[in-house]
């Protein structure tokens, strides 16, 4: 995962998501991560916004084995995975680095 030239890219063996990212969108995304990374681990309303003419959605749920499930989609491209707090911390770090650059 990286942010270069105002493009957010998340590439895995099973999915490839890219979309234009603005400072405001990065703030909204990091707020989502911040809420689930800090006690009392409340779940907030998912993110839904039109980006590059396609619907960007980001939502979280707690799985049965106490891991967070992240559901990220942009148009037809989807990413769905169970993630630990460390995984979310890495994504939040990339967003924070972008915001502070």
- Quick: pLDDT tens for 12-40: 888 889 999 999 999 888 888 777 766 66
CA angle in degrees (0–180, nearest 5) for 76-48-51 = 60
User: Measuring CA to CA, which residue among 55, 38, 89 is closest to residue 46?
Assistant: 55
Sign of CA dihedral 11, 56, 67, 87: positive
Total count of domains within the chain: 1
State the pLDDT at residue 80. Answer: 86
Cis peptide before 58 (omega within 30 of 0): no
Model confidence band, residue 69 (pLDDT cutoffs 50, 70, 90): confident
Which domain covers residue 89, as residue numbers? Answer: 2-99
């Amino acid at each position: 995962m990286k942010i270069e030239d105002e493009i957010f890219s998340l590439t895995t063996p099973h999915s490839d998501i890219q979309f234009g990212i603005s400072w405001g969108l990065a703030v909204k995304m990091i707020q989502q991560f911040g809420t689930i990374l800090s006690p009392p681990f409340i779940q907030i309303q998912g993110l839904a916004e039109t980006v590059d003419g396609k619907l960007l959605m980001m939502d979280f749920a707690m799985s049965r084995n106490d891991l967070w499930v992240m559901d990220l989609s942009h148009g037809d491209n989807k990413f769905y995975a169970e993630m630990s707090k460390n995984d979310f911390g890495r994504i939040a770090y990339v967003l924070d680095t972008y915001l502070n650059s």
